[in-house]
């Protein structure tokens, strides 16, 4: 037995002296991660307003005779409206589209309506009405609502109407009056034809007196959005 241990020890010592050693198997596991952030991007569709049929200036008795001077333009973030030469019973229609072009859901933070040409008389005499229809990315209707008020409380009416809207990526809203609310709007605005017209309506009340003559107003509408989990 002692001789066997001696021989084994001698072999190990000999291997060490000749540069030969024990070999160990090794393996390596690598974990690779990519982290990216989403995009928050809710905008007015600038191409949508380019339709030749908008804006429309209509009158209950002489539909199609464009006496009103309306200038409506928009960027990705701001809708600008300038209405001149209105008269009692006349109406201007505004069409617009807002789309979530980002990668995360968005909810409304607030709506700002800023008057560059404020006018208290028109704020009370001009009736503002409208609504929205909510579509998903597959163009299916998933919601909608409407508002009816005055130009002066347009901001609060838009905020109240849109405060529960959640836009998933690809969702969009059209500022149209849903079918189920058209009759309510028609009851308040004689110039409105629910079978043919839609959009956001600015109507100078047919009961307006001479105080509303020779007046103009201009304002911007900004819709501010935030990510869906922002408290």
Q: What does 17-61 look like in DSSP terms, one character per residue?
A: HTT----------------------EEE-TTGGG-TT-SEEEESS
Tens digit of each residue's pLDDT (9 = 90 or more) over 125-154:
999 999 999 999 999 999 999 999 999 999
Q: Is 21 within the bounds of a domain?
A: no
Query: Rounded mean pLDDT of 92-108?
Result: 91
Is 122 strand, coil or helix?
helix
Q: How would residue 50 be classed by pLDDT, with cut points 50, 70 and 90?
A: very low
Indicate if the pLDDT at residue 35 is higher than 70: yes
pLDDT at 83: 79
pLDDT at 20: 52
Q: Is 139 within the bounds of a domain?
A: yes
* Structural domain count of the chain: 1
Task: Kindly give the pairing relationship between strand 42-44 and strand 56-59.
Answer: unpaired
Task: Name the average pLDDT for the chain.
Answer: 81
Q: Is 128 within the bounds of a domain?
A: yes
Q: Is 101 within the bounds of a domain?
A: yes
Chain CA centroid to CA 224, Å: 8
Q: Is 25 within the bounds of a domain?
A: no
Nearest Cα neighbor of 55 from 74, 43, 44, 71 is: 71
**8 Å CB contact between 165 and 134:** yes
CA 78/CA 150 separation, integer angstroms: 20
Q: Domain limits at 74?
A: 42-227
Q: Is 90 within the bounds of a domain?
A: yes
**8 Å CB contact between 170 and 103:** no
Q: Is 22 within the bounds of a domain?
A: no
Query: Rounded mean pLDDT of 200-205?
Result: 88
pLDDT at 2: 54
Q: Is 190 within the bounds of a domain?
A: yes
Indicate if the pLDDT at residue 91 is higher than 50: yes
Indicate if the pLDDT at residue 38 is higher than 90: no
* Best-predicted range by mean pLDDT (42-51, 66-75, 152-161): 152-161
Tens digit of each residue's pLDDT (9 = 90 or more) over 12-29:
555 555 555 566 777 778
């Amino acid at each position: 037995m002692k001789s066997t241990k001696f021989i084994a020890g001698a072999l190990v010592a000999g291997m060490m002296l000749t540069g030969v050693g024990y070999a160990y198997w090794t393996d390596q596991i690598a974990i690779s991660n990519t982290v990216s952030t989403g995009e928050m991007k809710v905008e007015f569709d600038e191409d949508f307003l380019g339709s030749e049929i908008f804006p429309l200036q209509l009158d209950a008795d002489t539909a199609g005779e464009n006496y009103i001077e309306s200038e409506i333009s928009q960027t990705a973030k701001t809708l600008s409206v300038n209405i001149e030469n209105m008269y009692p019973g006349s109406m201007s229609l505004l069409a617009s589209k807002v789309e979530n072009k980002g990668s995360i859901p968005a909810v409304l933070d607030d709506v700002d309506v800023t008057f560059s040409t404020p006018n208290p008389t028109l704020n009370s005499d001009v009736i503002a009405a409208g609504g929205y229809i909510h579509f998903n990315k597959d163009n299916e209707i998933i919601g909608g609502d409407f508002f009816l008020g005055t130009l002066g409380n347009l901001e609060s009416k838009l905020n109240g109407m849109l405060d529960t809207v959640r836009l998933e990526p690809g969702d969009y809203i059209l500022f149209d009056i849903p079918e189920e609310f058209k009759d309510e709007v028609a009851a308040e605005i004689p110039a409105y034809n629910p079978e043919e017209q839609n959009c956001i309506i600015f109507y100078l009340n047919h009961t307006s007196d001479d105080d509303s003559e020779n007046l103009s107003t201009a304002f911007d509408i900004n819709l501010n959005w935030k990510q869906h989990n922002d408290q």
